[in-house]
Amino acid sequence: MNSNSFLLYANWKMNKNPNEVRSYIRQITKLIKLKDQKKIIFLAPALTLFVLQEECTSSLFSWGAQNCYFKDSGAFTGENSPLVLKQMGITHCLVGHSERRTLFLEDEQLILKKVQALLQYSIQPILCVGETSQERKSGKSFEVIKKQLSLILKLDNLKNITIAYEPIWAIGNKQSADVVQILEMQQYIKKLCGSKKLCFLYGGSVNIQNAKKISQIQGVNGFLIGSASLNPHDFFKIFNTI
Ligand code: PGA
């Protein structure tokens, strides 16, 4: 992947069946021009990943999972194996999305184990961090992010991890974080990780109206986009505006 490429991660969450994924990829493939200096990574529900494997012919596309467990196999009903993701050619996987932290009670220890399991198979972990609105209002944003990153910071292969800053108050909202908030957090996270080269994504209500402005913030290497990635035409408009 060209290091100058802007990265657009589509987080489809628990949306789309295999037929819908097939139709989406066929539609967006027709719209994309190969000379574009951007990459799209579809983070699809596990039950549809095989369709991406079949349909993604453009070199601008990659695909990945939204979650996995940290063991290869065994008595872990309902979980996805990182080994099988690797065998299926999956190159990326989300870890610690705020919905997993809140609804499925994932803690820092579990998230660390998942990151390590993915790194073992050279699958790029996209680690999500973000504060609640209450935490931001009480001036605790940086402290919260530091805590969420504390175990990960001890790893020696940090450059292989992508960090997605997704303030919880901006997810699924009409209002994204503003330019100053994103810039400050980008600088803070890169400093904490000791690397300006770390891949930093912003997520939280990225849409056609704000995508261009946010993409121009220094140090933002890409987006993690939820609702605005669900329709191929809307997502293509964002792709095109950057
Ligand atoms: P959103 O979701 O773009 O709908 O705010 C982003 C995410 O949860 O990853």
DSSP letter for each residue of 16-40: --HHHHHHHHHHHHHH--TT-SEEE
Residues with Cβ within 6 A of ligand 1?
11, 166, 171-172, 203-206, 224-228
Q: Is the pLDDT of residue 57 over 60?
A: yes
Nearest to 115 by CA among 76, 87, 153: 153
Predicted TM-score (pTM) above 0.85: yes
Closest C-alpha to ligand 1, atom 1: 226
**Residue 3 pLDDT grade (very low, low, confident, very high; cuts 50, 70, 90):** low
Residue closest to 48 by CA, chosen among 77, 76, 17, 79: 17
Residue from 128, 206, 223 to probe ligand 1 pocket by mutation (most atoms less than 8 Å from CB): 206
97, 99, 106, 135: which is the annotated catalytic residue? 97
**Residues 6 or more apart from 18 whose CB is under 8 A from it?**
47, 48, 50, 51
Stretch among 25-29, 32-36, 85-89 having the lowest mean pLDDT: 32-36
Nearest atom, ligand 1, residue 207 CA: 3
Catalytic status, residue 131: no
Q: What number does the ligand 1 atom closest to the CA of 176 have?
A: 5
Active site residue 166: yes
The residue whose CB lies within 8 Å of the most ligand 1 atoms, and thus the one to mutate among 98, 205, 230, is 205
pLDDT digits (tens, 9 = 90+) for 141-187: 999 999 999 999 999 888 899 999 999 999 998 899 999 999 999 99
Q: Rounded mean pLDDT of the chain?
A: 95
